[in-house]
Amino acid sequence: MREIITLQLGHLSNYTATHFWNAQESYFTYDGQDESLIDHNVHWRAGIGQDGADTFLPRTVIYDLKGGFGSLRKINDLYDVTSTESTVTAHSLWRGKSAVHKQQVIEQSDYQQSLDEGTTRPQLTEHSVRYWSDFSHAYYHPKSLVQLYDFELNSTIRPFERFAMGTELFDALDREHDIIDRDWRPFVEECDLMQGVQVFTTLDDAWGGFASSYLEELRDEYPKSCLWVWGLQNPLANVPREKRQLRLANTAQCLSNACPLASMVVPLSLPETQLPLHLAVEPGSPWHVSALLSAAAETAAIQSRMRVGQGNSPASLSDVAEGLNTSGNQTLASCAMDVGHHADEGDRSTLDLDLFRVGREANAAPGTDEARGRIFGQLSSYRGTSEPLIEEKGAPTPRPLPGNPHVRRFNTRLQFPLLDSYPHIYKDASSTQPGISIRTVLSTTTAISARISTLRAQVSRSVVVEERENLSNGLAVIADAYRDDWSSGSDEDNDDM
């Protein structure tokens, strides 16, 4: 049934994925409505709750640190059945006095309470959204929620911010539990024909190390599966220089480890330069930042969840990855995005938002120099009503001749939904507007080589000597794959690392 299982790693990733699941939930149709263009079985799993009621829950595994889940309970109303069995068992084991120590419970947000009670929902603001669970519409299976108690969210004493911390945490948990068997395999065993894996993770903190180790285990278990990674980066506004350098080093280490393992890695980041006037994104609000990044990710891969028929042309994650990775070793792609009336203009050569921040100099102007380059593979995805629907063949397009770019376009009339859980960051959209047009372009180009070489130079003094050579070689291999005159003996790299 073309199932995709999602892996969510970290707080910003869970914010982004929550917007994603809210959008998927909005595509459900009911009696008397036209059939949805989206095949819900791709991302949702059917099941039965504790009371025998049918459930439809996301196919996802969610990891966050202690305190990161907010008011979200592991056992929700679908599985919470009052029972005295546990009390009876406890009394049979211990008849003495009991002392109960409880951490202060995080209260539900007003928005969540209104969802539970079916009342009018209050308008969300960047101040009222404290956690990603504050605006989540979906119920999750208890096995989907995995809280890691080794680190605490936003801790100033022991922040979870270094790549090595993530790899060490994964190794420790895996030795104790076998993470793949405990957390992942139950969802895979429910699938008839798994299309692939979608990973939301941050690149520039310890979750990048955790994700790299997780990808290695997944690749060992499923060597032929498509592993698609959305690599998120935290905004750098008002971040001290030392922490900026740490984030660059984390990003470099994560890309060096993830690109050889994943089928496609797409870094997504809020541009550091001034945003277009029609956008109102607050960089300090993860709710705002994740909304923009989620819209890009949800649009760029929308083909993978389209329903067969009605003029749709679904393509698997593997098909999309193969169209971008023309040489077999180009697993890093850039993403650009247009929203609103600019998205409806199909002849624009440069899009408003370049979400590929890897290797960009802080003072580089958008739309210049390395932002362009010779195209190897490109996928343009448009959702809106200004262009006629393009019906593509169900089979993958043939591989182009060597040297020719592989360019595909996909259009659908399904606009991106503007829900009450989504911030008002698009000035062109009214508060009553149900959806908005979006265009995304995923590309593999020669410009990526220069970006990775720049990143390599930026982190040359930020990693310990023992890791420097391996990191340098890993980044050099990635950069070589995007050169016009690729050769394994290239001596153009800076060997200062």
Give per-residue pLDDT as tens, 440-468.
Answer: 999 999 999 999 999 999 998 888 877 88
Q: Which residue has the tokens 């023309």?
A: 326
- ∠79-82-86 over CA atoms, to 5°? 100
432 domain residue, yes or no: yes
Give alpha helix (H) positions in 27-78.
Answer: none
Quote the mean pLDDT of the chain: 87
Using CA atoms, how far apart are residues 358 and 371, in angstroms rounded to an integer? 11
pLDDT bracket for residue 375 (50, 70, 90): very high
- Tell me how crowded residue 105 is: count the other CB atoms within 10 A of its CB: 8
Whether 94 is in a domain gets the answer no
- Which CATH number is 115's domain given? 3.40.50.1440
- pLDDT tens, residue by residue, 323-364: 999 989 999 999 999 999 889 887 787 899 999 999 986 555
Is 99 part of a structural domain of the chain? no
Strand partners of residue 354: 336
Model confidence, pTM: 0.90
Q: Phi, psi at residue 284, to the nearest 5°?
A: -80, -5
- Beta carbons of 314 and 307 less than 8 angstroms apart: yes
pLDDT over 70 percentage in the chain: 83
Residue 396 lies in a domain: no
CB atoms within 10 A of CB 217: 16
DSSP classification of residue 430: -
> Given a cut of 60, is residue 84 above it in pLDDT?
no
Arithmetic mean of pLDDT, 60-68: 96
Share of the chain above pLDDT 90, in %: 67
Say yes or no to pLDDT of 403 above 90.
Answer: no
What is the mean pLDDT of the segment spanning 257-283? Answer: 93
Give me the mean pLDDT over the 40-69 stretch: 88
Task: Read off the pLDDT of residues 144-195 as tens digits, 9 standing for 90 and up.
Answer: 999 999 999 999 999 999 999 999 999 999 999 999 999 999 999 999 999 9
- Binning pLDDT at 50, 70 and 90, where does residue 394 land? very low
Would you say 276 and 282 are in contact if contact means Cβ atoms under 8 Å apart? no
The helix/strand/coil state of 221 is helix
Q: What is the DSSP string of 469-496?
A: HHHHHHHHHHHHTT-TT--TT---S---
Mean of the pLDDT values across residues 101-120?
A: 84
Q: Which residue matches tokens 């660059």? A: 248
State how many domains the chain has: 1
Give the closest residue to 346 by CA, choosing from 413, 409, 277.
409
Side-chain-side CA neighbours of 102 within 13 Å: the count stands at 5
What are residue 208's phi and psi, to 5 degrees? -65, -40
Any domain includes 487: no
Q: What is the pLDDT of residue 100?
A: 67
Mean pLDDT across 211-232: 97
Domain assignment present for 185: yes
Q: Is residue 98 part of a domain?
A: no
Q: Is residue 495 part of a domain?
A: no
Whether the per-residue pLDDT at 56 is higher than 50: the answer is yes
What range defines the domain where residue 42 resides?
Answer: 3-76+110-364+372-390+402-481
299-326: average pLDDT: 87
**DSSP three-state, residue 187:** helix
